[in-house]
Structure 1
Amino acid sequence: MRKFPENFFWGAAASAPQTEGAALEHGKSATTWDYWFETEPERFHNNVGPKHTSNVYNQYKEDAQLMQDMSMNSYRTSISWARLLPDGKTVNEEAVAYYRDYFQTLKDKGVEPIMNLFHFDMPMWLMEKGGWEARESVDAFAFYADTAFTLFGDIIKKWATFNEPMVHIECGYLGDAHYPAVRDYKRAIQVGFHTVMAHAKAVEAYRKNKNNDGEISCILNLSPVYAKSDDEKDQHARHMADLLLIRSLLDPIVLGKFPEELIELYRKHDLLPVIEEDDLETLEANKVDFLGVNYYQPLRVQHRENPNMDVITPGSFFMGYDWPEKRINPHRGWEIYPEGIYDISMRMKNDYGNLPWFISENGMGVEGEEKFQDENGIIQDDYRIEFINDHLEFLHKSIEEGSNCFGYHLWTFVDCWSWLNSYKNRYGFYRVDIDDNFKRYPKKSSFWMKEVIEQNAIK
């Protein structure tokens, strides 16, 4: 048996917009997802929007009991900004009552809640003012964060500011998977800078609030970057991809400063964001206490021949590489590379001061899981068990070698709604029947994981 450290955090991860439901009920105002679905429902898989998702708003007590039944000791989800502060200023007391009871119910069942503040769900009232492009977003987020700390800090002891901020930057401002679906690198960089400053201001607010006695973090998707070859050009492409997509957020959030090379690159191409006096000092003074790391697949790159340098994007400096030896999840189209979790672990140890960190997401989405049901209705998701076990093997190896990892969370606990894929790919320990009052059914992986948790070990 390969034992994990004592008091290791075993659990799962989710988000408010993907699980809560009650999307425009109980005082909650619209987010960009609500607005986008109303205006362009054809963008959403099978025209399924965020109205109900997994119905956690009404079933959180049942879910908390299922978590206890699985012996989970932790769970990460998020608060809906648009539910707590529907106009950005006024507290929704119904939301306060819901969240307090939800969080306390988890604790009463032995499940430590780790609470994230932003999971891609920009309130529409702020989006109409420019969203993360507007400087107003920085102070608005800090106010929201401080409100949450004050209202729930007696229950929540581990916080996160953002989940995967690179995603709302890339998908909303260098692609069309998130609203507002524009392609403008300079705007994307400004969005990224304001996001980092919103994070720093929230950390600052947390530490100024004398009622807080816990820890605060951010959750980043840290895909390790691998080059096609040892050729100097491919290695430079790897370096640039890592700089632009990983270190551009990892360094300011953990080390309190942006890489000098990144600043010089932006200056050279007239891409520097607008900053205010004392911003960089605020950033340096408000590093995280720990880090959440989401890992699904690696990033493989190669040198791009003859890039168009008239319109600069990250892709001007590298291009993707399809490794012919890859093992792949055919349902999601993502590479399965458990070794990547070890490389992330060693990087945290060797390059980032061995900061405490945990795997805040890892998982495998599969389409059409119903075909794997046995005669008792239990999905035989051996593929998910294999996926988790393989990653845990490499995580265990890294911990044995000194990486300061304190937990592992699967995405997700119960099958959840996904932005533009609805319920096509299922990730949960529990199946959700969206056509039958959102009933929960355990998958084989839930029983396997219960054993792992109770033994605090893998074979």
Structure 2
Amino acid sequence: MDFKRSDFPDDFIFGAATAAYQIEGHKFGGAGSTHWDTFAAGPGNVVRAENGDLACDHYHRYAEDLDLLKDAGMDAYRFSTSWARVMPDGRTVNPEGLDYYDRLVDAMLERDLMPFQTLYHWELPSALADKGGWMNRDTCHHFGDFADVITDRIGDRVASIATINEPWCISFLSHFIGHHAPGLRDLRATARAMHHVNLAHGLATTRLRAKGVNNCGIVINFDDTEPHDDSVGSDTAYASWDAIMNRWFIEAITKGTYPKEALAGLAPHMPENWQDDMAEISQPIDFLGINYYTRRMAAADHDTVWPHIRSEEGPGEKTQMGWEIYPDGLRNVLTRMARDYVDDLPIYVTENGMAWDDKVKDGTVDDAVRLQFVSDHVNATKQAIAQGANVKGFFYWSLLDNYEWAFGYEKRFGMVHVDFDTLKRTPKASYHAFKSAIAR
């Protein structure tokens, strides 16, 4: 890889990320049903109707997986704590779930890995989904209770706490496009979910501040959006898509406002008196996590419903997901956030990675495309720092091949290959190259 640790500030953090439902094995330890379990059981929602019952069995194999992080010389591990494991019905505490995360955090510290916790990475308890999920304001208050319970148990040992992972995916992708659980395609549901996810972040942050937590933030996913061409229609489509995809959440959190281009379609369906929540939503955060994967090109399409947009991948080489490989987009997003929204606030690249159809051959996995991908995106991060963005760390997504939501176990993002029949872990060429690059 064409970078080395010494290219970055002394306090820069290198790590890898995972998410609870995608790796743990949700059938273990008394975890409750989630809306992903029932979504996966519906026709055509998930490849082969696969779910997270077993996943990578990280629940039992976490020591082996943490050893992979330590052996690679990584500084930190970004993990999430499953709401449905800690509180199976969203409200009642499961002691086994708390004990598991207790063991997990202690095991990180034993290996000198900094625990970067995310409270919520999409596993909404089914009992709350039954009551409307993110369309129901009460869910936000139950999420605050979850933040209290898990923080009382492990908050004294984690390095940071992110409230929500990728609110756009939780709300717009899941309630308007219908690609993720709960799989809705409803404008009113979307408007309410997009606001309530923000409110949940605000309420959880209030709970964390009350406990004296001083390193809490949020993780937002961004595309590097561009107009499809230089037409007026594409400019308008770009403004709308950028407002929905990139501006809605960051502007609520940093400015206490929503972009007018998004409100043009969402305002009639927003919860009553939503404006009264904006002060809580926009209270200060201590860091911003940025997830970046690709660039999107926006064009007008007036034959479709609002927002009348056709959003397409750029023209470059594609990953197994069909996403364009565009490292400059990461630099663009990092510098934009620093310039327009967070100034000198610490920023972390909390997810960046690519899927490829990796195969084990003679005991090894040659993932040369990923190796180059990581090198180019880490260098894009370095360029953003040189241009003034206060980027403090880079987490590759993901440590392990895992359950990739609607794509089941078909798309492989890991630096470590997982055989989903035997659960054998095989570090890929990118793992070894990353280890060499970040060696002290």
TM-score, normalised relative to structure 1: 0.90
Say if 1:106 and 1:112, in contact at 8 Å, map to a contact too: yes
Cα distance 1:109–1:345, how it changes in 2: closer, same or farther (>3 A)?
A: same
User: C-alpha displacement at 1:451, in angstroms?
Assistant: 1.4
Say if 1:185 and 1:313, in contact at 8 Å, map to a contact too: no
Corresponding residue of 1:149: 151
For residue 224 of structure 2, what is the amino acid of its counterpart? P
In 2, the alpha carbon distance for the partners of 1:30 and 1:266 equals 31
Instruction: Provide Cα deviations, 1:171-190, integer angstroms capped at 9, x if missing partner.
Output: 32113322332211121011
For structure 2, list consecutive stretches of 5 or more residues without a partner in the other structure. none
Instruction: Provide Cα deviations, 1:91-136, integer angstroms capped at 9, x if missing partner.
Output: 2111111101101111221111111111111100100111011111
The correspondence of residues 364-383 of structure 1 with structure 2, limited to 5 A, is 364-367=354-357, 369-370=358-359, 373-375=360-362, 377-383=363-369
Corresponding residue of 1:362: 352
1:418 paired with 2:399, answer no
In 2, the alpha carbon distance for the partners of 1:178 and 1:236 equals 27
In 1, the alpha carbon distance for the partners of 2:94 and 2:269 equals 39
Cα distance 1:171–1:111, how it changes in 2: closer, same or farther (>3 A)?
A: same
Corresponding residue of 2:37: 34
For residue 362 of structure 1, what is the amino acid of its counterpart? N
The percent of aligned pairs where both chains have the same amino acid is: 30
For residue 258 of structure 2, what is the amino acid of its counterpart? F
Corresponding residue of 1:58: 60
In 1, the alpha carbon distance for the partners of 2:386 and 2:233 equals 35
Corresponding residue of 1:73: 75
Aligned residues: 435
The correspondence of residues 381-420 of structure 1 with structure 2, limited to 5 A, is 381-420=367-406
User: C-alpha displacement at 1:400, in angstroms?
Assistant: 1.2
User: C-alpha displacement at 1:322, in angstroms?
Assistant: 5.4
Corresponding residue of 1:292: 289
For residue 400 of structure 1, what is the amino acid of its counterpart? A
In 1, the alpha carbon distance for the partners of 2:161 and 2:135 equals 24
1:439 paired with 2:424, answer yes
Cα distance 1:239–1:175, how it changes in 2: closer, same or farther (>3 A)?
A: closer
For residue 310 of structure 2, what is the amino acid of its counterpart? M
1:16 paired with 2:11, answer no
Corresponding residue of 2:436: 451
User: C-alpha displacement at 1:263, in angstroms?
Assistant: 4.2
Paired residue secondary structure (1:222)? strand
For residue 391 of structure 1, what is the amino acid of its counterpart? H
In 2, the alpha carbon distance for the partners of 1:322 and 1:145 equals 36
Paired residue secondary structure (2:331)? helix
Say if 1:80 and 1:121, in contact at 8 Å, map to a contact too: yes
Cα distance 1:264–1:423, how it changes in 2: closer, same or farther (>3 A)?
A: closer
Instruction: Provide Cα deviations, 1:157-178, integer angstroms capped at 9, x if missing partner.
Output: 3011111111121232113322
User: C-alpha displacement at 1:422, in angstroms?
Assistant: 2.0
In 2, the alpha carbon distance for the partners of 1:24 and 1:431 equals 22
In 1, the alpha carbon distance for the partners of 2:376 and 2:279 equals 42
User: C-alpha displacement at 1:231, in angstroms?
Assistant: 3.1
User: C-alpha displacement at 1:441, in angstroms?
Assistant: 1.2
User: C-alpha displacement at 1:41, in angstroms?
Assistant: 6.4
Instruction: Provide Cα deviations, 1:35-67, integer angstroms capped at 9, x if missing partner.
Output: 233x43664323432110010000111111111
For residue 325 of structure 2, what is the amino acid of its counterpart? I
Query: Residue 272 of structure 1: which of 270, 273, 276 is its match?
Result: 270
Paired residue secondary structure (2:269)? coil
Query: Residue 9 of structure 2: which of 5, 10, 17 is its match?
Result: 5
Cα distance 1:157–1:257, how it changes in 2: closer, same or farther (>3 A)?
A: farther
User: C-alpha displacement at 1:90, in angstroms?
Assistant: 2.6
Corresponding residue of 1:217: 217
Say if 1:433 and 1:439, in contact at 8 Å, map to a contact too: yes
Say if 2:371 and 2:430, in contact at 8 Å, map to a contact too: yes
User: C-alpha displacement at 1:260, in angstroms?
Assistant: 5.1
User: C-alpha displacement at 1:417, in angstroms?
Assistant: 1.2
TM-score, normalised relative to structure 2: 0.94
In 1, the alpha carbon distance for the partners of 2:192 and 2:366 equals 46
For residue 351 of structure 1, what is the amino acid of its counterpart? D
Say if 1:190 and 1:274, in contact at 8 Å, map to a contact too: no
Instruction: Provide Cα deviations, 1:191-249, integer angstroms capped at 9, x if missing partner.
Output: 11111101100011110113x3x411111111111112233332222112111221111
Instruction: Provide Cα deviations, 1:143-170, integer angstroms capped at 9, x if missing partner.
Output: 1112111111111130111111111212
The two structures, once aligned, show a CA RMSD in angstroms of 1.9
Paired residue secondary structure (1:122)? coil
In 1, the alpha carbon distance for the partners of 2:31 and 2:431 equals 32
In 1, the alpha carbon distance for the partners of 2:178 and 2:236 equals 28
Corresponding residue of 2:341: 352
Corresponding residue of 2:306: 313
For residue 393 of structure 1, what is the amino acid of its counterpart? N
Corresponding residue of 1:332: 321
For structure 1, list consecutive stretches of 5 or more residues without a partner in the other structure. none
